Amino acid sequence: MAKKKVFVFLPDGVGLRNFAYTNFNDFGEELGMDVVYWNNSVFPLHEKLGLQEVKIASDNLHPLTPIYSRARKRIELNLWQKEFKDSVYKTYKFPFQYHTTKKATRSIVTKLLIATHNSRKGLGAIKEKIAKLERKNSKYHYCKAQLEAHQPDLVLCTTQRATQAISALLAAKDLGIPTATFIYSWDNVPKAMLVVESDYYFVWSDLMKAEMLKYYPYLKDHQVIVTGTPQFEPHFDPNRITPKAKFFAEYDLDETKKYICFSGDDTTTSPLDQYYLEDLASAVQNLNKAGYNLGIIFRKAPVDHTGRYQEIIEKYKQEITEIAPAWKAMGKQWNTILPEPYDFSLLATVCEHSELVVNICSSMVFDFAIHNKPCIYINYEQPQLQSGIRDIGQNYKYVHFRSMPSEHAVAWATSKESLQATLENVLKNPKPIVAQVLKWFTVVAGKHPKTSSLEIWETIKNILN
């Protein structure tokens, strides 16, 4: 019997970690699938990883698609705010920009579309317009020709939030090819980041399935399938973790010290992040004077190339060792800053050989939880906060933080003055926090985080049968 051919569609580089750097391809082949990566990213999958790929050479969007997509998102958020009587949805809106003629024009047109389509009927019209625009786009015809030539039995889109995926999935739909889309991140559903539509949606957990059915009531129960996420699988593979002696020697770490990881955030989430690193370094300095022997491993956000931490790192060079993520810029856009395969191993190793992680509202809390390590969430303003700079406190009001089964799933640093005491308490007694964060991890990531890739393939097999 001929193998079923599955196109694993990468509209950009964000799906590489989940679907190319894990064992996802191997599981598919073991189940008798013909796995082909339909690659719209700049990463050369065949050259670097030996994976079967069909390259998409076109990255064209219809010029109006980004404008209509922004309008779609804001209309959805407006409708949810009204329907659920919850002001949180307005905090998901990025401000309009007017500092260039092009951006000002886009903002004005977007606002006009919102004003004239701010209803369920209007939202439907916006979605229809996006599909109509993309079917006129040259990329639609390019992708359609590729699908006709290769004739896959199913297309799995590795992220739901990329406008680059719209025309390709429309082409598959028009050819009668079943499509499935993986919901990429734990916070994406309530943020109105469902850019594409498909026949099936693969989600992390029962929680995410409930969210999908809540926000998109036109979906049927059987269309939303809980598979887990491959994102955390490498943490369970001991072969990916570098032994402590080798790791410490490679990065010039001191084996007599206990290390705390500070994982940096992007400039949108935490615009004053460098000062929180400084606060942690000062706390560690004080604890070391009191007899502790601590150090800090600093891992910045992979897409942060601002250099904003350098002055702090130099000032506290006795306390801070930077271990940069293994990501590489392969283009000028943010979504062409791509992880290298080694980064999974690097992250798992940092988690294993650190005592805990400190950050602002990051999902790194779950990476460390797998290694039975606690997290401190920072939640206080910096004195440098000025008008126009975003306060980090609003992050914790987002819908996805309501999934936390107990506020004790993390330790909270609610002031610069309390950070040192919080750190000391967590170092002395991490077990209660770890017990609670593991419960939270199960709520968010599902019950079988070790075998999500296999679960996705079993689901695909069932769909094809």
Query: What are the residues whose beta carbons fall under 8 Å from the beta carbon of 446, sequence distance 6 or more?
Result: 204, 205, 206, 226, 227, 228, 229, 452
Query: Which pLDDT belongs to residue 59?
Result: 82
Query: pLDDT-derived band of residue 150, with 50, 70 and 90 as boundaries?
Result: very high
- Fold: same for 4-61+137-228+449-464 and 234-445: yes
Average pLDDT over residues 211-233: 98
Question: Residue 385's pLDDT is what?
Answer: 75
Q: Contact, 382 vs 419, CB < 8 A? A: no
In this predicted structure, the answer to whether residue 390 has a pLDDT above a threshold of 90 is no
Tokens linked to 298: 């600093």
120 or 328, higher pLDDT: 120
Question: Tens of pLDDT along 316-338?
Answer: 999 999 999 998 877 666 667 78
Instruction: Report the CATH architecture of 234-445.
Output: 3-Layer(aba) Sandwich (3.40)
CATH of domain 4-61+137-228+449-464: 3.40.50.2000
Boundaries of every domain in the chain: 4-61+137-228+449-464, 65-133, 234-445
Predicted pLDDT of residue 1: 67
- At residue 329, the pLDDT reads 77
For residues 277 and 242, give the distance between their C-alpha atoms in angstroms, rounded to a whole number: 26
- With 0-12 CB in 10 A as exposed, 13-18 as middle and 19+ as buried, what is 31? middle
CB 199 within 8 A of CB 180: yes
340-386 residue pLDDT tens: 889 999 999 999 999 999 999 999 999 999 999 999 999 999 988 77
The per-residue pLDDT for range 31-80, each reduced to its tens digit, is 999 999 999 999 999 999 999 999 999 888 999 999 999 999 999 999 99
CA gap 66, 69 in Å, rounded: 5
pLDDT tier, 21 (very low <50, low <70, confident <90, very high otherwise): very high
Q: What is the pLDDT of residue 332?
A: 63
Q: Which residues contact 268 (CB under 8 A, 6 or more apart)?
A: 390
